[in-house]
Amino acid sequence: MQTRTLGTSKLVVSAVGYGCMGLEGVYGPGASRQEGMTIIRAAVERGVTLFDTAEAYGPFTNEELVGEALRPVRDRVVIATKFGFGINPDGTRYGLDSRAEHIREVTEASLRRLQVETIDLLYQHRVDRKVPIEDVAGTVQELITQGKVRHFGLSEASAPTIRRAHAVQPVAAVQSEYSLWTRDPERNGVLATCEELGIGFVPFSPLGAGFLTGTIDTTTTLDPKDFRSISPRFAPDARAANMAMVDLVKRVAERKGVTPAQIALAWLLAQKPWMVPIPGTKKLSRLEENLGAVNVPLTPGDLRDIEEAMSRIHVTGERLPEAVLKFTNG
């Protein structure tokens, strides 16, 4: 597996990471504990070194799964987790919470669940507008000094917030949704800010929540528990309109002799050398397919053709429901 360095942080990880959120049933039925252990360890065996989790996934159970699965290979992997949501012991939520005392409590709990002495990369999951980002960065800086955290990250933060945080404690990585059909980080200054400040970028949902794989169309029935069933972009009329995007990816894939998913990931890998997508899957075949994207070269001509075709496609529907979207770009 090829490796990449997240910005100037010296944090070296596999060119494609593994997002663990989907194991909790966000996209339909979740994986059993044994299934989760198996797929995570299969990723390790195939060279993946970056594993992304959060206390909010489950909540709590995803960190426990990741910790158990990776314990035998702890020295070979980078574990990223997150704080920032207010979560009661019974799993109910009360909004966002990045108060210093809460960050410290969550970090201690994450260390226990992950069965590690140090968290490699600790993200603020969502920006808490009630707490100055400088205070958040300062709290994480204290945790780094104490040896409980190695690197600081931000998720779904705006460019000005990234700058303010970075001025207090260097930000190693920023995580946002980014893919062929979600280009916001290009337009809102986040990618430019990361490049200027030497910050790595970790696109989540790099396959458009599965849409860019070509396995979902207007006839696909989504489980009521599937997050996509309430996503505006996956509404029946939006899906019909957005099939033009899938058709584009399929055409390029056919020409290159690979799969649509591999084209979508290869496009991301071609954007910046400090960009590391984190697709997730419960299936070994999909894992191997995703990792195969590192061997799919897209020429400057390929990228120009994709961009030209993209300019004629209008993506229909917001990427998230309004109630969730309000927590982004903080």
Give the residue extent of every domain in the chain.
3-207+272-296
Q: Which stretch of DSSP H or E encloses residue 216?
A: none
Closest CA to 200 of 38, 64, 30, 3: 3
Helix (H, G, I), strand (E, B) or coil at 122: strand
Give dist(CA 329, CA 100) in Å, integer: 21
Q: What are 219-256's pLDDT values in tens digits?
A: 888 888 888 888 899 899 999 999 999 999 999 999 99
The pair of three-digit structure tokens given for residue 176, joined into one six-digit string? 């946002």
Above 80 in pLDDT, residue 325?
A: no
Give me the phi and psi of 56, to 5 degrees please. -75, -15
Place of tokens 């050398």: 273
Buried b / exposed e across 146-158, counting CB within 10 Å, b at 16+? eebbbbbbbbbbb
In CATH terms, the superfamily for domain 3-207+272-296 is NADP-dependent oxidoreductase domain (3.20.20.100)
Give dist(CA 57, CA 145) in Å, integer: 27
**pTM of the predicted protein model:** 0.95
* Per-residue model confidence (pLDDT) at position 26: 83
Give dist(CA 121, CA 81) in Å, integer: 7
Q: What percent of the chain has pLDDT over 90?
A: 83
Active site (catalytic) residues = 57
DSSP bridge pairs for 122: 81, 152
Closest CA to 268 of 197, 176, 198, 189: 176
Above 90 in pLDDT, residue 317?
A: no
Burial of 45 (0-12, 13-18, 19+ CB in 10 A): exposed
